[in-house]
Structures are given as C-alpha cells and as structure tokens.
Structure 1
C-alpha cells in the first residue's frame, strides 16, 4: 500500500452562551487575543503492564478505562447503525471530552466521569495520564509521523476560570486564542485550522458561530505510516465480498503471504498488520462464516480485548483484504446521553469550573475519513462539542484469512495499548 496518512482531528466545539451574572475576577481570566491558530503538537506508546508503561507512569486503571469507554461507545453506535460502515476515533473523542470534563462540577462532573469510565479517579490523574500518553505517542520511531494538537478558542471578553485555562495549557498543550464569534469569518478560521491539521481530509466541522458562542476547544491527531510490508499492487484483483443480507459484490482485494501475529478462535480469525513503526498495527477481526459481525460485536469488551491481545502468535498467513475508503459522520448526543451524560445536555448542567456563566452541551458531532490501500492507511477524525447558556517465535503451520465478508478493525498502539481508531466494514464499496 502507498504511504498511509492517518489523520485524526478532534475538534471540541464548546459554544457557550454568555450568562448575565457578573464574572468572578478572582477566579476567571480573559484569554489574550491571538491572530495565529497553530496548536501545540503532542505525542503516543507500550501495552498495559509493560516495563515501558511503568517507566512512563501510565496508570493501568486509565488504560483499562480508555478501553471500556472505546468499546462501550462503539457498541452503542453499532447497535443503531446496523447496516452502515462505521469508523470512529475513540482517542480523539476521549481527549475532546476530557478537556471539557475539566470545566464540569458537581453532578455534571460525576456523570461525565461515569461516561469516560474514570469514576473514582481524581481529575488531576486523568489529566496527567492524558499528558504522558500524548507525549509518548509523539515519540514514534522512524517510518511513522504522528502529531496531536490542541487549541482553545474563546469569544472576545468571555471570562474563563483561570484553573480551566491552566489545565488546558498544562496537560493538553493547548494554544489559546480569542475570536469575535459574531464575525462570519470566525468559523472559517477554526475550520481552516482543522483542515490544516488533518492534511485536508476533513475541511469543516463548524457550520457557523455567533455572539452566543463562547468557547471552542479543538483536538487534532495526525498519523501517517505505510505497511511494514506493502502489498504488491499487481496482486490486487476483484474478488467476491458477501454482504450481511447475502448479496455478493465484486470489489478489489489485496493479498499476500507474510508472518503476522495471528489468532484463530471458534468465533473469529484475527490478524495484526504492522505499520512501518511496528508499535502501530491494524488489528482485523473476521467472524467465522457460521457467525456474523453483529454476533461478534457482542464479544467486543475491554476484558475480551485484553485476553485476545495476549493470545496472538506469529504465523505465516495468507491474507486477502479488500481496499476501502469511507467518510463517516455521526451526531453523538443520543449515544453520550445513553452512556450516562444526560445532565450535561440539560440547561441545569454544572460547568462552573469552566466559567462563572452557566452553560450546557447542545451539540456533539464526529466526522472521520479512512483510506486503506496497498501502501498503507490514511485516516482523519474530527469531534465537535457545542455548548449554550444554561439557567442560572514463528509457527511453521500457515493460515489463510480471506476477508470476504463484514469485519471489524482497529488501529492501535502496541506500546501503550491505546486504540486510535476502530471501525466495522459492512460494504467496502461504500
């Protein structure tokens, strides 16, 4: 496959309507006006209880929490979009929500902690984990390019709590800027930043802003890497792919034989395709022909994910994989409400750690792009969260993995266990 650009941009849009109460000058700060929009670039790294994770002081509780959040989120989306291709970036979404979480208090903070699976863990520990993780992810070896960028855009003269500003800068390396959100060009400025950080794959996340918009937080992740062993393009040929309803289509499929980490169970086959930086891989799970993707997805839990990860063994594998390119978008409000964040979307939400003004979330959008071909993978993701004013050793035996029916895949970091992207391909031609 060609060099794969993998891009993830998470744009956390928090548009807070200004309230009428006076701001607390002792606990609030107005961001300095900045004309530039580049954001701090951050990093990625080793599995669960590895020596590297201990050296990084990565909290095992938070690694497991990120897996629970990822699979819970994916499960709820998959149950509602049975016949659609799905592609999300749980890392992008969790970083965006984590920045917002710093502004929550009281019952709203408790609800967000349950959704993020971090209940019982101090917010300072969550922030520190995210800081170390991002720095680690950026320290990739040769052959892989990855960056993580964060920014906070505030409406002119809108007072933010100094502690919120400090946490955003310290733990998320966010670049701070002021904008006049009543200006029609404000959305363009932010969207241009998103386009830049996603290498043009996602050009728009914000439709418009107005005087009621108070802050917009943005997280963008960019990942570029080719396969460790690219597929020979001459081997790519149209092959049958069977859809869930039994319909057979012809679609280009790549193929090659190579030694890969491989797992075969009564329910599925799985293989890890390493990128040039072997710490990253695409993990592909193909339900057995006697099962289907819907049944397999019921097995997708954080606990099973760890159990499976420990059982892969290197084997010679003939793999046939369809090339695919999809663009995906979803409104996450209902999903996050069902995950326990209902109060954050109500007018009585408590975001008092963000500002003296009352506010609640009224928009959460997620857009992604992925292109998998002979050379590698290119992907991007953007998440926006909008807010408005509230009331006050190799095995000699070879294996075959013919991916000719719906399958699940994830792009993960083997060093930290972080899942950057995950998706389900029901129809590679769409």
Structure 2
C-alpha cells in the first residue's frame, strides 16, 4: 500500500473507532506522522551478483540456525528467515560497537551489505512475493537522519511517529494485515511503557503451481503424526522431475508458476525427526544439495496442510549469539535514535508470526517480524521413478530456485 493511502486509511479507521458506540473521540488517537518527508530514496545498486550470492549464504545459515533454535520438538514450525533477517537488519543499521558486530555475526554479514543485497534479492524474485518494511517511533524520540536514509535506500522502509497508544497498536496491526493480504493479523498485542520503536517487516507469498494438481491426483490417506496418532489427510500425488538426497533425507522439488520459486519437501530417514535433518545442514550443504538435485522421475505425495505459527524470537537470538543487543546495560543503538533525556535503546521482544496454506492450486504464505526497541529443469529420463511420500513428519522449504535462498523453513508434525 502506498504511504499516503495507508495514512489516510489509518486516519479514517481511527475516527471510526473513536466515534463507535458511546465512546468520546480520544485526543491521543491521532494519525501516525510520516517521518519520510524530505527523505528521498536513492537507488541502491551496490549489490552485484557476488554480493547477492554472499547474502544467500548468510540467509541460509541464519535461517537454518533460527529454525533449529525456535523448534519445540513437538509441534509444527514455520519461520521466515527472509522476514526475520530484514527486520533485524533494520535494527542493525542503527547499532554500533559490539552490539553491531554480534548482530552481524548472527545475521551472516555486514549490515550495509546485507541490506542492499536483501533488497536486490527480494526484487529479483518477482511479483509472487511482496515485502514491505516500516519503522514506528514513539513521540519524543529523535531519529538519526542517517538511519532513516540507510533503511530507505537499502530496504525501502517507511518511518512513522505515533503516540504509542491503543490506536498505534491497531495501526501497526492494520499495516501488517494489509501487507500480508490478511494472512498475518494481530501480531502486536500491546505496547509496553518502555517500548520506543518498532521495526517491522511484512512478507506475502501467493504462488500457483507450475503444474496444478487435477482432481484425480487428490487422494485420501493417513499421516503418521509425531504424537503417534494416525491422522486423515488429503494427499496431492503427481510425478515430478527433480529428486533430492540431502543429509540422509529424500525429497523433491515442485516448481511454482514462472519457475523462479519452488517447494522443497524433505522426508527424514525412518525414525528421525525433521529437526535432526535441519540441524545437520549448514548453508554450504543446503545450497550444494539443491544444486545437485537429480533430474529424474519422482512420484511425490504431499499432504495438503494449513497452519499458523508464532513466537518471540528473543531467546533463540540470544542463544545464537546476539546477547548484547537485548541487554539494557550493554546494547548500543546510538546510530538509530535518542530520547530527549539521552537514554539509550535495547532490543525487547522480536515477535514473529507466520501462516502457510498448501493445496492443489499452490501456496499462500505470510510472515511478519516486529522488532521491539525498548529504552534502557533438465530433460527427464525414462528410468523407474523414485518415490517420496510425505506421510510422516517432514521438513520443507519455499525457496528461490535460482539462488537457493530460503523464504520459509517449516516442519510438519501434524496435519490435523
């Protein structure tokens, strides 16, 4: 949504909410102020093919580590490395000192280079994927001009200033809902008194299969869930042309329309959990595994599934090595903003909420990451086809087939 249209919609929504029922209009339910006035986005063409390739490796490594750190070992999982890395790069662009170096170590590279290359990567994927970034600042904070400019140039971030009241919660949630086609809603429950900024990424994927499933390719079956139960499932069965063997797992790739994006389904060896598979991989193994996919016939069976997932990523990120950014005494975000009283900032919650729906038409998936800043095809041969039936817990990814960049990593342990 264009910034002007969003602000107008928020003003209308706020007025409607304020006058509903018997409530009097609230003075603090004001329109968010646009801080981008006077900031002109410069075309950032600093990310060439080599830089984009480097950022793909960083995204793979970060995504695999984040998925493993966020998994509870029992339920379904869905993280978007791209959404989380973009939101955290917004924050890293305002960090300094050890805080910055730790964030760059976890994210996989220099913040400046990551911002430019992530922006270039997102643009290259095409119109099946839509991304947006925004920064929300509490009234009373002065945002550094260089921080605004850097995030505008590399990640296209809009910046708003608001009173951080209940109306601001609604505005941020409405912005996320709009940018994810309503797949992700109500990501922010409240604004704590110490919250000073929110750095937000929203991502929406809507991709049809290159070869959609027909009615006669949909069959009823049983899924052996991780809890030992046998669950009824509707399976999509078709012959694909790309077979994978990766870290002891077998799998397949099914392309989406246009051939840029693809679904990767991976079935671990019998008796092994999908988390063990993801834990055994690193960026090099992931990219090499996808690049070495065998062009051969594979009969692939994929259950239809749809679910939502959400978590606060703060603990996983601290465990991955980003500790100083969350420590009120050690965090250094002096390049981002400052309060009138001179107090500093640290990371608070890192709210991550995702949605996925895989069916015979294709895949719809959405993700939002809200970083809270607190004060203080080759030709197919005719050999006997391989078979991959995802009828027990499996891992999957939605990837850019050109670069192997993961947009989503997921684990399905239940289809109920």
Q: TM-score, normalised by structure 2?
A: 0.83
Residue number in structure 1 paired with 2:19: none
1:122-165 Cα deviation digits (max 9, x unpaired): x332232223223323xx2xxx5322111222223420111111
Moved more, 125-134 or 340-349: 125-134
Distance 2:308 2:245 in 1: 30
Change (3 A) 1:127 1:263: closer
Deviation at 1:373, TM superposition (A): 0.6
Distance 1:100 1:341 in 2: 12
Residue number in structure 2 paired with 1:9: none
Residue number in structure 1 paired with 2:67: 74
Q: Structure 2: 5+ residue runs without aligned partners?
A: 1-31
Matched, 1:421 2:413: no
Distance 1:228 1:73 in 2: 30
Residue number in structure 1 paired with 2:312: 331
Residue number in structure 2 paired with 1:387: 373
Deviation at 1:281, TM superposition (A): 0.1
Deviation at 1:347, TM superposition (A): 1.0
Deviation at 1:174, TM superposition (A): 1.4
Choose between structure 1 and 2 for higher RCO, CA contacts under 8 A separated by at least 6 residues. 1
Distance 1:335 1:267 in 2: 26
3-state SS in 2 of match to 1:214: strand
3-state SS in 1 of match to 2:213: coil
Distance 1:247 1:355 in 2: 52
C-alpha contact 1:56 1:132 (8 A) present in aligned 2: no
Residue number in structure 2 paired with 1:26: none
Choose from 357, 364, 369 the match for 1:371.
357
**1:171-190 maps to which residues of 2 (within 5 A)?**
171-181=154-164, 183-190=165-172
Q: TM-score, normalised by structure 1?
A: 0.80
Residue number in structure 2 paired with 1:237: 219
Distance 2:66 2:48 in 1: 30
Change (3 A) 1:291 1:188: closer
Distance 1:234 1:358 in 2: 61
C-alpha contact 2:51 2:113 (8 A) present in aligned 1: no
Distance 1:71 1:270 in 2: 17
1:256-314 Cα deviation digits (max 9, x unpaired): 22x42112468221100100021100011112335443442332221211221122122
Residue number in structure 2 paired with 1:21: none
Deviation at 1:388, TM superposition (A): 1.4
3-state SS in 1 of match to 2:280: coil
Distance 1:316 1:229 in 2: 15
Distance 1:382 1:220 in 2: 4
Matched, 1:62 2:55: yes
Distance 1:191 1:89 in 2: 18
Choose from 86, 91, 95 the match for 2:86.
95
C-alpha contact 1:316 1:399 (8 A) present in aligned 2: yes
Distance 2:372 2:158 in 1: 19
**1:16-415 maps to which residues of 2 (within 5 A)?**
33-34=33-34, 56-78=49-71, 81-118=72-109, 121=110, 123-137=111-125, 140=126, 145-181=128-164, 183-209=165-191, 212-257=194-239, 259-264=240-245, 267-289=248-270, 291-348=272-329, 349-356=331-338, 357-390=343-376, 393-397=379-383, 398-415=385-402
Deviation at 1:211, TM superposition (A): 6.0
C-alpha contact 2:55 2:118 (8 A) present in aligned 1: no
Distance 1:54 1:113 in 2: 17
Distance 2:114 2:68 in 1: 23
C-alpha contact 2:47 2:116 (8 A) present in aligned 1: no
CA RMSD in angstroms comes to 2.4
Deviation at 1:401, TM superposition (A): 1.5
Distance 1:151 1:329 in 2: 20
C-alpha contact 1:362 1:387 (8 A) present in aligned 2: yes
1:323-378 Cα deviation digits (max 9, x unpaired): 00111111111100100111111111111111234011121111111111111111
Change (3 A) 1:150 1:130: same
3-state SS in 2 of match to 1:263: strand
The structure richer in helix per residue is 2
1:177-211 Cα deviation digits (max 9, x unpaired): 22122x32111111111111111111211122366
Q: How many residues in Structure 1 have an aligned counterpart in Structure 2?
A: 370
3-state SS in 1 of match to 2:316: helix
Q: Structure 1: 5+ residue runs without aligned partners?
A: 1-31, 42-52
Distance 1:297 1:416 in 2: 19
